[in-house]
Amino acid sequence: MDLFWVAVATQLLGLLSLVSIRLSQHAPVFARLQPLFFLALLAVGTVTVAAFASNSMTWFSSAATLSIMSVGATLDLTGEVSA
């Protein structure tokens, strides 16, 4: 399978896991989705390194997906100030 399609599938999995974990943040299913997100984060990181090592231009979109996943997982949109 071509690295391009592996990268596309991995990026879609990563973004889907990000959306699902953000939407279920206060739901009981959150604990089951959290490992899926971390596995997807690891997969996107691995594909990014593999694409960079093979001089494929898909490393750029994979790195952007990795950044979006990192920020999206830690971004707090509740507006609450913690002490």
| Extents of the domains making up the chain | 3-72
The C-alpha atoms of residue 50 and residue 54 are separated, in whole angstroms, by 6
What pLDDT shows up at residue 1? 61
pLDDT tens digits along 4-48 = 999 999 999 999 999 999 988 888 898 899 999 999 999 999 999
Return the number of other C-beta atoms located less than 10 Å from residue 56's C-beta: 16
pLDDT tens digits along 27-37 = 889 889 999 99
Number of H helices, E strands in the chain: 3, 0
The C-alpha atoms of residue 25 and residue 73 are separated, in whole angstroms, by 10
7 vs 82, which has greater pLDDT?
Answer: 7
